[in-house]
Structure 1
Amino acid sequence: MLEVDREQVLAYRIAAHGLHREVTDPVAAAVFDLGLQDSVRDTALLGLAARLDGEVRPDVWEDGRFVLAWTHRGAPHFHRRAEIDAVRAALVPLDEPDAMARILWQHKQVEAGGMSATDALFTAAKAIREVVTGVLTKGAVSGAVTKLIPGGLSYACRGCGVVHIYEQLMRVATLHAGVRLEPGATPATLAPLEKRGRLKTAPDVKAATRVVEGYLRINGPASPGDAAAYVGTTRAGVGAMWPGDLVEVRVDGKKAFLPEDRLPLLENPPEPDVVRLLPPLDPFVQARDRAVLVPDKARQKEVWKILGNPGALLADGEIAGIWRAKASGRKRLDFTVTPFDTLRPAVRKAAEEEAARVAAARDFPEHRVTFA
């Protein structure tokens, strides 16, 4: 059995994520095999800029080859348009515990809803499909859908004083309804998918398995628990979607798994000599084994906040610090880079070059970098 340390795993992941910038066509980026999350301003855009060889512009999502939708764990992700039906099939719960995990329900919600979690999911999807026949804000959709569904699928929101469909239920049901998100829209805005077809409720084990395999390809070697946390299902549930062509390896003595055809890259990854400013919630930091990414617990708290995650400075094969950017008017973006340890002059220079790339991607003609 192959035994590797965390440094070798990180070198593998840097390569698997495409962070060596070996592709020029956005749709060819490896992260789209799984999906590129876009939960914070320009997160997906900057994640792509970290991986693409060439200029990345804000209008990259307008070329018709991408779809933004609530998918994994109900979070917004960009996917290749040609693969969105496969993504939707992968998100159909395989059983009732899987459905409960995906919509964050417990038995008390099932009892209050008066139906199973699976039935609640597709009841919501049917209502969303009926409502969203054109472009509508999330608030308008929520209000209209809440009137169509049984009372047990909604709750009284203290913040705004009205009754809403459960947030996670709405998010998870939306793609099944054949509904996508409008890129860049504030507030969140929904629209029907082109050629959305009929509502499909049958589980697709092969499609679900491809998601787990995709996670293991870019964030492996990893455990079943890691994969389950990414998918948003139970540890027991991920067993039904566990790929068959895996090899077991040991990462610092702990059992983990990787697709067999990726073993050569793990055994001999390229030198991880890249410097990148990864945005908050970048797929690289979305790996669930945080102790592999950042062993020091104090530093983990700096990288992963409860609210307001910073970006991550990747240098010399490690997450070497954090960064934030703040607009100064409409022309300048001010960066604060906070390294965990003293940076070599070459790394500082490369980080400044990456800041210029981020500013250009966000359409700021000027930028300034401060090392804290």
Structure 2
Amino acid sequence: MSGLLHLSREQVLGHRRRVGALDERLGPGRGSLRRAAWAGLTDSVPRAALLSIHARVRETSPTTWADESLVQVWGPRFSTYVVPEQDRAVFTLGRHPVDPARRRFAEDLADRLEEVLAGRRLPYRDAGRALGMHPSQLRYAATTGRVLVRWEGAGPPHVWTVPRPGTDPAEARLELARRYLRVLAPGTPEGFERWAGLRRGQGTPVFDALGDLVPVESPSGRAWVLAEDEEGLREPRAEPSSVRLLPSGDAYLLLWGVDRELLVPDPDRRAALWTSRVWPGAVLVDGEVVGTWRRSAHRVAVTSWTPLPAGHRRAVEAEAAALPLPDLEREITVTW
């Protein structure tokens, strides 16, 4: 490992925006979709995954989230995620229990679910009823990599089973940690546990096994980055000039504790972004979160924390108008 690397707030956030494709949108295509979903796309709020893709990939349409290269799973923290099919093992087996008893429970549940479904897709309520359990418990089978879901945003998700990925769970967990460190570096074992929804104490062995880490000191404290990202973190960042409407749960916002303080230093503004209930989206202008937004049908309500120049207001309104939302009967309008 190299010596201690000192990073500024600007270097950290600049790195996260660059690797997260938030400074400049990627061209259309499945390679871009995979990069946009490198840390998974939470879809717990209807079509949040689609809006996260739109923030990163040009020519995103209302159906892009359903591209054949993408699947829906119960991922970290058992939230609904859209992930690349080729990375399904990372976001499922990467969270497979370490404890033998918990692992057996997950595997047995997947076996029982597969038997009940018999090749069918069922609403998860019906599947849970057939197994004599609350449907939310089916999420525990997701860590086997054998369960896919389809959630349209209205009504219960449908579930079905698929063959288990051929990846070793330990290798999948290492890759999951690399995804966390790539997109949200600098990171810590504790931060990885919370982000991935792992039990306390499971992050340290994973970080120890990675071996390709560089220690850093940032305003958030002592942490780690991938060695392959060290050179890029040292480079000065160009001034960002993008405007993005990031949805609730976007990868750039999945932060806790000191990482939230780094992104949004003001405590009142943090409380407005990470509320005790459903989080709003974040308005990102020139590399800074400058407010929040919520949508109801065709109406987008933007709350700006400081007065925005007219040019920035027009850019925010243009970004809102371009949201690739399905089934809108009217053009999107923005209120401030």
Q: TM-score, normalised on structure 1?
A: 0.81
Identity value in percent: 29
Q: Specify the alignment match of 1:305 in structure 2.
A: 275
**Alignment partner of 2:186 out of 206, 215, 221:** 221
Q: Which residue of 1 aligns with 2:120?
A: 134
- 2:109 is matched with 124
Kept in 1: contact 2:321–2:332 (CA 8 A): yes
TM-superposed deviation, 1:249: 1.0
Asked if the contact 2:36/2:57 (under 8 Å) is kept, the reply is no
RMSD between aligned alpha carbons?
2.2
Matches of 1:344 and 1:26 in 2, distance apart? 36
Matches within 5 A, 1:125-164: 125-132=110-117, 133-146=119-132, 164=134
Q: Which residue of 2 aligns with 1:211?
A: 176
**Offset of 1:363 from its aligned partner?**
5.0
8 Å Cα contact 1:94/1:205 also seen in 2:
no
Matched, 1:13 2:22: no
1:252 positional shift: 1.7
Query: What is the CA distance between 1:198 and its match in structure 2?
Result: 5.2
2:138 paired with 1:170: yes
Paired with 1:180 and 1:214, the residues of 2 have a C-alpha distance of 21
Distance of aligned partners of 1:199 and 1:31 in 2 relative to their CA distance in 1, 3 Å threshold:
closer
For residue 252 of structure 2, give the secondary structure of its aligned residue in structure 1: coil
Aligned to 1:100: none
**1:342/1:26 Cα in 2 relative to 1: closer, same or farther (>3 Å)?**
farther
- Quote the residue 2:206 is aligned against: 241
8 A contact 1:228–1:234 mirrored in 2: yes
Contact 2:49 2:65 (8 Å CA) reproduced = no
Structure 2 CA distance for aligned equivalents of residues 199 and 127 of structure 1: 18
1:259 to 226, 250, 253: 226
Aligned residues of 2:88 and 2:145 also touching (Cα < 8 A): no
Query: What is the match of residue 357 of structure 1?
Result: 322
Matched position secondary structure for 2:332? strand
SS in 1 for 2:203: helix
Structure 2 residue 64 is matched with structure 1 residue 60: yes
Deviation per residue, 1:31-63 (Å, 9 max, x gap): 32221111101100100001112x211211343
AA paired with 2:45? Answer: V
Residue of structure 1 aligned with 2:152, choices 184, 203, 208: 184
> In 2, distance between residues paired with 1:27 and 1:181?
23
1:316 paired residue number: 286
Between the aligned partners of 1:143 and 1:350, the Cα distance in structure 2 is 49
SS of corresponding position for 1:236:
coil
Query: Cα gap change, 1:175/1:120 in structure 2, threshold over 3 Å: closer, same or farther?
Result: closer
Letter in 2 for 1:122: E
Aligned to 1:197: 163
Whether 1:278 aligns to 2:257 is no
**Contact 2:76/2:91 (CA < 8 Å) preserved in 1?**
no
**Partners in 1 of 2:315 and 2:159 — Cα distance?**
41
Note closer, same or farther for the CA distance 1:347–1:199 as it changes in structure 2 (3 Å cut).
Answer: closer
Whose Rg is larger? 1
The residue type equivalent to 1:144 in the other structure is A
TM-score, normalising length: structure 2: 0.89
CA distance in 1, matches of 2:60, 2:165: 36
- Counterpart-to-counterpart distance in 2, 1:235 and 1:192: 30
Ranges in structure 1 where 5+ consecutive residues have no aligned partner: 97-115, 147-153, 155-163, 328-332
Kindly indicate whether residue 50 of structure 2 is the aligned counterpart of residue 82 of structure 1: no
Q: Is the 8 A contact 2:246 2:282 kept in 1?
A: yes
For 2:55, the aligned partner's letter is: A
Deviations 1:174-220 (A, max 9, x none): 35272211242632333434xx33598x9622210100110110111
Paired residue for 1:38, among 29, 34, 43? 43
Contact 2:148 2:159 in 1 (8 A): yes
1:292 aligned residue: 262
- Note the C-alpha offset of 1:8: 2.2
Deviation, 1:253, is 6.4
Separation in 2 of the partners of 1:78 and 1:356? 24
Summarize the Cα distance change of 1:198–1:253 in structure 2 as closer, same or farther, 3 Å threshold: closer
Shift of 1:119: 3.0
